[in-house]
Amino acid sequence: MWRESVFRKFRENKVKYNYSLIKQMNQAIIKYYFDLTRYNFAFSVFIGLLTLRPYIGIVTFGTFGMLAGLICYRYFHQNQYYFYYNLGIGKTKLVSFSWLVNIIFMIIFLLIFR
């Protein structure tokens, strides 16, 4: 009886720990996305105003602006990647999530401003 309660508590704590870790990882990925999008959005608005075509700015947000955002983020926040590695999140996962979200937003904005 004593062993069963100990094992049950261990399993419950393990589930809580895993849920907490997943929650921290999701928050970290969202933080990375917003930090990267700040540079991406500024670059895309600049290109959109430079060409005087909003479509170019929207397409830049989903494609080349991401590359500019990555370069700026790497230049200004290089040491932050260690924070993400310590949580078990690789650079490819961070970049692919951000790119996917930006592509989805680009398609939505292109459909709205058609």
The residues spanned by each domain of the chain are 2-112
pTM over 0.75: yes
What SS3 class is residue 100? helix
Under the banding of pLDDT at 50, 70 and 90, the label for residue 104 is: very high
The per-residue pLDDT for range 22-75, each reduced to its tens digit, is: 888 899 999 999 999 999 999 999 999 999 988 999 999 999 999 999 999 999
Whole-number Å distance between alpha carbons of 55 and 48: 7
